[in-house]
Each structure stands twice: as C-alpha cells, then as structure tokens.
With several copies, the nearest count.
Chain A
C-alpha cells in the first residue's frame, strides 16, 4: 500500500517543509511520526507540513501533529499546516485543531509567517 501515502521532507535555511500525499491513517502515521522525529532530532524546529496532496486523514494522523507541537513551541519553533483540501480541513476543524494550530492556504504563506515572526 506504499503507493497510497507519500512523504517528502526538505530543509531550506532554518525551515523544514514536510509534504504529505495520499492517505494519512493509522497505517501510515508512523512514517510521518518517524520523519518528523528525525528532523527534530537534527535540531529543526521550524516546520511547515504541506498537506496539498493529502486526500485523507484520520485521528492517527492528527495525533502526530498533537504529539510534537508543544515541544516544538517550547524550543522556540512551531509546526504550521498548509494546503488542506476542504474534506481534510473539515476533520481538523471538527476537532478544534484550527484554534490551536496555525493553518495557511499554501506552503509559501506558512513559510512566510515564520520569516515575519523572526523579523518582528
């Protein structure tokens, strides 16, 4: 089922972008978790998770976002989310994630919000 999920992490300056695609469910969430953990272990704390190609998310996927956000913020970083398709955004909103995470329309806007925070 590998074809049903894709993940790609890119470091650029002090920003790490993790692009997700396909289905993020209990079967694929561990791969997402491992990728994030690896970037964080490498000292990366400013992270954008670009969900532009993400077609499905269940609570196992949402749990990964939950598990890392506090430590990232404590370390002076953040995890911001971009590109949610309406169906996926609805799940984030149903559970109140939109109140606790910064969600942007696209990757550039999410990246820009880090830059302006640094400038401010």
Chain B
C-alpha cells in the first residue's frame, strides 16, 4: 500500500498518572494506521507495559524524568519506540519465570516483558545506559 510514512511523538513526565494519556495516544495512532480494535488493544497494552518498566525500573519513579513514545506507520506496519535516558539493563539476562512459580513466590510482577513479546510481532531493545535506551516494537497492519 502506498501510504506516506507518518511520525507521531509524545513526551510526558515519568509517572503512572500519564499512562492514560499514553494509551490514548497509541490508540489514536493505531486507529489512523487502520488497525482493527483487537490489534489496537494489543499495541496499547504493550506500550503501557513498556512505559511502566521505564517509570519503575529505568527511572525509579522519579517524576522529573521524561518518557518518549514515538510511533510511525505506513501501509505495512505500526512501529513504536519507547525511549528513556535511564540506567539501562540487560534484557537478555532477565529471567523469565513461569506464572506458577511467580505465584508460589508471592511475586506481583514479572509479566511485563513476556506480555510485550506476546503482543507484538517484533521486539528489540537498544540500550545505551544513561544516554538513550529504546524499546522498538512492531505490529504488522495486515497479518497473514
């Protein structure tokens, strides 16, 4: 499809208060990209999870920090990057526990990254600690 690539960017303070705004933003972009509701919901949730990780882990709940959500789409895909300037981490070294095990340990987290990978078609981290950490996520416009 011949659709001009369009870019949308949102910068907000790093606070869970802003998750509603972030989800609205992502939903509107996905709507314009022509995604049906079920895929819009998937992107919305994946971006929410990515931003929660930034708020909690990258910035340690410091509201003076800023999260950037950048979204582009063309006829083929919606591409979303969640960008922070926090500590960074080694995504491949994060242990992925079974739900049964998380429950046994009375854990209340540990599902976010799995959810992101399940919801999106491509997921890739680009980490430069303290400078610019980006989580790139892709959702195809037409599946199959």
Name A residues whose Cβ lies closer than 8 Å to a Cβ of B.
Answer: 1, 4, 23, 25-27, 33, 56, 58-60, 62-64, 66-67, 69-71, 87, 90-91, 94-97, 100
Does B68 reach chain A (CB closer than 8 Å)?
A: no
Known interface pairs A59-B49, A87-B41, A100-B99. Does A71 touch B108 (Cβ–Cβ under 8 Å)? Answer: no
Q: Is the CB of A70 within 8 A of B109?
A: no
Chain B residue numbers with a CB within 8 Å of A1 are: 17, 20, 31-32
Chain B residue numbers with a CB within 8 Å of A27 are: 16-17, 19-20
In the assembled complex, 9 residue pairs joining A and B whose CB atoms fall closer than 8 Å, in A order, are A26-B19, A58-B52, A60-B109, A63-B107, A66-B103, A70-B103, A91-B45, A91-B115, A100-B99
Total number of residue pairs linking A and B with CB closer than 8 Å:
75
Known interface pairs A25-B48, A66-B103, A100-B100. Does A59 touch B109 (Cβ–Cβ under 8 Å)? Answer: yes
Chain B contact residues: helix, strand, loop or mixed: helix
Chain A residue numbers with a CB within 8 Å of B115 are: 59, 91, 94-95
Q: How far is the CA of A66 from the CA of B97 in the complex (A)?
A: 13
Partner of A97, one of B19, B49, B99, B107: B99
Name B residues whose Cβ lies closer than 8 Å to a Cβ of A.
Answer: 16-17, 19-20, 23, 31-32, 38, 41, 45, 48-49, 52, 55-56, 99-100, 102-104, 106-112, 114-115, 118-119
Chain A contact residues: helix, strand, loop or mixed: helix
Chain A residue numbers with a CB within 8 Å of B17 are: 1, 27
Q: Is the CB of B99 within 8 A of A26?
A: no
Q: Which of B23, B55, B106, B111 neighbours the largest number of chain A CB atoms within 10 Å of its CB?
A: B111
Chain A residue numbers with a CB within 8 Å of B56 are: 26
Known interface pairs A25-B16, A25-B48, A94-B118. Does A59 touch B112 (Cβ–Cβ under 8 Å)? Answer: yes
